[in-house]
Structure 1
């Protein structure tokens, strides 16, 4: 019987392998065989720790969502420092330039995975929903500090930024958009609510 530490290590090893396969080869290549080969372990290891492949994928997605939650905390702590547009640009790069962006098509095309994530309490489109919440939380903190206008409609701005960011990063086949292009989009979306917007346009 494996110990808790061994189980945790095996899970992390498999999750990291899944991330490598997903980023390199895409969602269609993500199979239990590809993951265990990437991890350098027997195929049975995955099935010893997870009920089935969709159970593994659900835990993998939940683990990566927890990383977004950690990023959200760090982003909130950055409120009041740097330029708001720069901070949002970096946050979008962290989300869509990482495995989080690659998870979106995986969830979209696997019905059972979506169902399991719903049962786990996730709403909307997992990863995208959490990313929008991260941006909204940050913009709220900046609004409280007076760097975003008090009348800013953050519930609209956050998903707008996530949607536009996703489009910029989609179908890049490993080539990320230029940071300047992402920042230009962010500045355009936030132009009417950034208190420093007039200075940025000069």
Structure 2
């Protein structure tokens, strides 16, 4: 594509290309050349919109974190419906079945990217800390509805679910874990505090 041609929403075009490269080839393959080739744009396009490649990657990660807002809203709206274990299993499958696992690997892989993200995200890996907040918000809503024990420790349960979920989905040679494996893990974590019938799901 000629560099003089206006590109509609070039940032999103580049972010989408980066996601495809990351999911297909892993973090080591994510270079500015790979992104611009995947996006079908000239090499200079990326550097006209971002100071350097790590600045691009930091914006890419934060853009993908922002996209989790709709997942978080849907999960909060699910409070009081279905079963707690079913809702959590569905949410974790959607979260880790997306680009989230690959982004964690990317942030771990690139020191400079981590340093950049620290400027606006002082603790943890962005995708994971956002996910913990999403799960904690849902668990709090269920506790308020009486479907979790009044003394359920949401601040411990949420990161436990995210950590265990990440281990289930990360670095797998085959496909994603079976639905039942995710449900089993969720039940092991929250089963002791659930106060609603689990038979309906």
> What's the TM-score once normalised by structure 1's chain length?
0.91
Say whether the 8 Å CA contact 1:157–1:190 is kept in structure 2. Answer: yes
After TM superposition, give the deviation of residue 70 of structure 1 in Å. Answer: 2.3
Alpha-carbon offset, residue 115 of structure 1: 1.4
CA contact (8 A) 1:69 1:130 kept: no
- 1:109-156 Cα offsets, whole Å, 9 max, x none, are 211111111111342121111111110010000101111111101111
Deviations 1:63-109 (A, max 9, x none): 00001122112211111111111111111111111101110011112
Normalised by the size of structure 2, how large is the TM-score? 0.92
* 4+ aligned runs moved over 6 Å, structure 1: none
| Contact kept in structure 2, 1:104 and 1:127, CA below 8 Å | yes
What count of residue pairs does the alignment treat as equivalent? 194
Q: Give the Cα–Cα distance (whole angstroms) in 2 for the partners of residues 18 and 122 of structure 1.
A: 24
The separation in 2 between residues aligned to 1:24 and 1:178, in whole angstroms, is 21
Deviations 1:158-187 (A, max 9, x none): 111011101100112461111110011001
Change (3 A) 1:173 1:23: farther
Cα distance in 2 for partners of 1:7, 1:123 equals: 35
Are 1:131 and 1:162, in contact at CA under 8 Å, matched by a contact in 2?
Answer: yes
Q: Is the 8 A contact 1:161 1:189 kept in 2?
A: yes
The within-5 A match list for 1:127-138 is 127-138=127-138
Q: Does 1:79 align with 2:79?
A: yes
Between structures 1 and 2, the one with greater helix share? 1
Task: Identify if the C-alpha distance between structure 1 residues 147 and 7 changes in structure 2 by more than 3 Å, giving closer, same or farther.
Answer: farther
Q: Distance in 2 between the 1:164 and 1:134 partners? A: 15
Aligned to 1:98: 98
Give the secondary structure class of the aligned counterpart of 1:127.
Answer: helix
Secondary structure at 1:195 match in 2: coil
Moved more, 94-103 or 69-78: 69-78
- 1:10 and 1:31 map into 2 onto residues whose CA distance is 17
> Which runs of no fewer than 5 residues in structure 1 stay unpaired?
1-5
After superposition, the CA RMSD in angstroms is: 1.5
Instruction: Give 1:29's aligned residue.
Output: 29
CA distance in 2 between counterparts of 1:42 and 1:141 reads 48
From the superposition, tell whether residues 152 and 164 of structure 1 become closer, same or farther in structure 2 (CA, over 3 Å): same
**1:68 equivalent in structure 2:** 68
In structure 2, the residue matched to 1:121 is: 121
